Amino acid sequence: MDIIAVMRGPGPGLYYVATSPPHCGVLKLRLAELPTNLEPPFRATYLKTRHGTALINITRIDLDQFLLDHYEHLIEGEVEAGVLRGVVCNKEITAKVLDKSITGPVLAAVPVTKGRKIPHIIPTLLAYKLQIT
C-alpha cells in the first residue's frame, strides 16, 4: 500500500499518514508507527506481514506539488484574520484557522483523523499560498 507521511505524530516513530488523495477539501489521515526516522513529508510503499512492517521505495516529496496534483479537490478560498472562507465541492465553507502564519488566497486541504467533514475549528491547514502578481 502506498502511503504519504504528512507530519510527525505525538511520539517517537509515529507519523500521520495519508493513504488516499484529498477529497472535498479533506485529507484523511491515520496514525501509524513506521520503521524510519526520516523527516516528513515522504512517499513510501508500506508492507505489513506477520513478522513486522517495512517501508520500501521511500522518496521525499514536495507537499505543495502533492496538493497541486489534486487541486480539483482542494478548498479554494482566502484566510483573513484567522478565518477561512472558501468553496469546495460546490459548497461554501467558513472555518476558524488556529495557524496564524497562513493568510491570503489559498488552495488548502484540512487534515482530519476522524470523520469526513471539515471541522469548524482547524488546528492545522495544509495550504498552497497563491502568488498573485
Q: Give how many domains the chain has, as a whole number.
A: 2
Average pLDDT score over residue span 10-27:
92
- Phi, psi angle pair for 85, to nearest 5°: -125, 125
Give the domain range for residue 23.
2-65
Do the bridges between strand 75-80 and strand 104-112 make them parallel or antiparallel, or are there none, so unpaired? antiparallel
Q: Clarify whether residues 11 and 43 are in a common domain.
A: yes
Q: Clarify whether residues 31 and 55 are in a common domain.
A: yes
Q: Which residue blocks in the chain are alpha helix, DSSP H?
A: 63-69
Task: Note the pLDDT tens digit of each residue in 62-117.
Answer: 998 998 999 999 999 999 999 999 999 999 999 999 988 999 999 999 999 888 88
Q: Which three cell numbers stand for residue 12?
A: 517517537
Instruction: Answer yes or no: is pLDDT of 1 > 70.
Output: yes
CA distance 131 to 52: 45
Q: Which three cell numbers stand for residue 1?
A: 500500500
Q: Clarify whether residues 32 and 57 are in a common domain.
A: yes
Instruction: Name which residue leads in pLDDT, 131 or 57.
Output: 57
Q: Clarify whether residues 52 and 7 are in a common domain.
A: yes
Match 489521515 to its residue by C-alpha cell: 29
CA distance 123 to 61: 23
Do the bridges between strand 83-88 and strand 75-80 make them parallel or antiparallel, or are there none, so unpaired? antiparallel
Among 11, 38, 65, where does a domain finish? 65
Query: Is 18 in contact with 6 (CB distance < 8 Å)?
Result: yes
Task: Output the pTM of the full model.
Answer: 0.86
Q: Clarify whether residues 26 and 44 are in a common domain.
A: yes
Q: Pick the closest to residue 7 from 54, 45, 42, 51 (CA basis).
A: 42
User: What is the pLDDT at residue 98?
Assistant: 94
Query: Is 112 in contact with 24 (CB distance < 8 Å)?
Result: no
Instruction: Answer yes or no: is pLDDT of 133 > 70.
Output: no
Q: Clarify whether residues 61 and 76 are in a common domain.
A: no
Other CB atoms closer than 10 Å to residue 82's CB: what's the count?
A: 14
Q: Clarify whether residues 58 and 83 are in a common domain.
A: no
